[in-house]
Amino acid sequence: MSSLRNAISRRAHKERAQPSSRKKFGLLEKHKDYVVRAKAFHKKEETLRRLKEKAAFRNPDEFYFQMIKTRTVDGVHKPESQANKYTQEELMLMKTQDMGYILQKMQSEKKKIEKLTAVLHCVDNQPSNRHIYYAEDRQEARELYSQSSENRTPPSSADIPDHIKRKTATSYRELEARKSRVNELAKIYMEMSLKKELQKKGRKRKLREDELICPTSKPVFKWRSERKR
């Protein structure tokens, strides 16, 4: 009976709209809108209840180190600055690890560029089929040479399928993108190397423009010569 009851088409009861006399109050809230609003209200109410319960049962002797590492500004907890969280040795170690990662990625990109360049070189320069013919005399050699020159026709671009052309163009774009990525990684590696050297001990100063032999836009530093034992 339940299956027959569900088979019969029923009238869809729609919720009424806002009466014309109450248009100034906006859209009439539907039941689904009320459900969303009620859930949000009860969720906030439950959060407030939990906070009140925690405040009521709070231990006055409770202590943890975050209490002395934060301060309250206009009722908002703000942690202390962690600028000097790491020592100089730890910062140098992290710089070295970052440089090692950049160097590894740069070497990986160079290997991919070499492999892609070799593939594209083989595609562009197809090796010609070379056959060796042996002739009994000069006359037969001339005939064989004339036949080979007639059959030798250079491959035209019209004979290459379209999907091969598209793949080749995509490979060339990928090659250019990888080359630009290698250049960017090389610049980053040089900048990180300079920053690491500047963090080391030793007196150094930045050279002025008139002191530079080869003018450049990048900063140039000079270290004071020290006697090494």
Structure tokens at 19: 């009466």
Chain segment 158-193, per-residue pLDDT in tens? 567 788 888 888 888 898 999 999 998 898 888 888
What Cα–Cα distance (Å) separates residue 82 from each residue in 60, 70, 76, 79?
29, 11, 18, 9
- What is the length of the chain? 229
pTM of the full structure: 0.46
* pLDDT tens sequence across 90-131: 777 888 888 888 889 999 999 999 988 888 876 555 555 566
Task: Say if residues 216 and 207 touch (Cβ distance below 8 Å).
Answer: no
**Exposed, middle or buried by CB within 10 Å (0-12, 13-18, 19+), for 201?**
exposed
More confident residue, 108 or 149: 108
Token pair of 215 as six digits: 């003018």
Q: Residue 168, class by beta-carbon neighbours within 10 Å (0-12 exposed, 13-18 middle, 19+ buried)?
A: middle
Q: In this structure, what token pair is assigned to residue 17?
A: 């709209």
What are residue 223's DSSP bridge partners?
204
